[in-house]
Structure 1
Amino acid sequence: MSTLLLALGLVMIIEGLAYALAPSLIERMLEALRALPESAVRQLGLLIVVSGFILVWFATQLGAGLG
């Protein structure tokens, strides 16, 4: 449970920094996403999820340990 909370906290920090340091960039990215068809946004989301799983797997292989 502590690992999950740590991961969630890190995501919140990174997201918050993006909004705090580059709000106009976030707005432009959201506009670009709105222009894409729904299937492309769904594929992008799936790609990000798979990339996240690969990063977590790689980190555990390097000894980060989840638990």
Structure 2
Amino acid sequence: MSDLLAGLGIALVLEGLLWAVAPHQARRALEGIAALSTTRIQACAVAAVAAGVVIFWLARG
């Protein structure tokens, strides 16, 4: 459970840094994502989940 909380904390730090350091670019990125089709967004989300699982699996060995 502590690993899950640590991962969540790191994700929040990275997300917060993006908005704190480059809010204009973050807003443009969101606008670009909003312009994509739902199918494309879902495909990217599935790829991100798969990459996350692989990275976690490699890190935890």
Normalised by the size of structure 1, how large is the TM-score? 0.86
**Whole-Å separation in 1 of the counterparts to 2:31 and 2:9:** 27
Runs of 4+ in 1 over 3 A off after TM superposition: none
Q: RMSD of the alignment, in Å?
A: 0.7
Equivalent runs, 1:1-67 vs 2, <5 Å: 1-61=1-61
Q: Give the counterpart letter for 2:22 in structure 1.
A: A
**Whole-Å separation in 1 of the counterparts to 2:45 and 2:25:** 19
Give unmatched runs, 5+ long, in structure 2.
none
Higher helix proportion (structure 1 or 2): 2
Answer 1 or 2: higher relative contact order, Cα 8 Å, separation at least 6: 1
Q: Structure 1 vs Structure 2: percent identity of aligned residues? A: 34
Q: Shift of the alpha carbon at 1:29?
A: 0.6
Highest CA radius of gyration, 1 or 2?
A: 1
* Residue correspondences, number: 61
Normalised by the size of structure 2, how large is the TM-score? 0.94
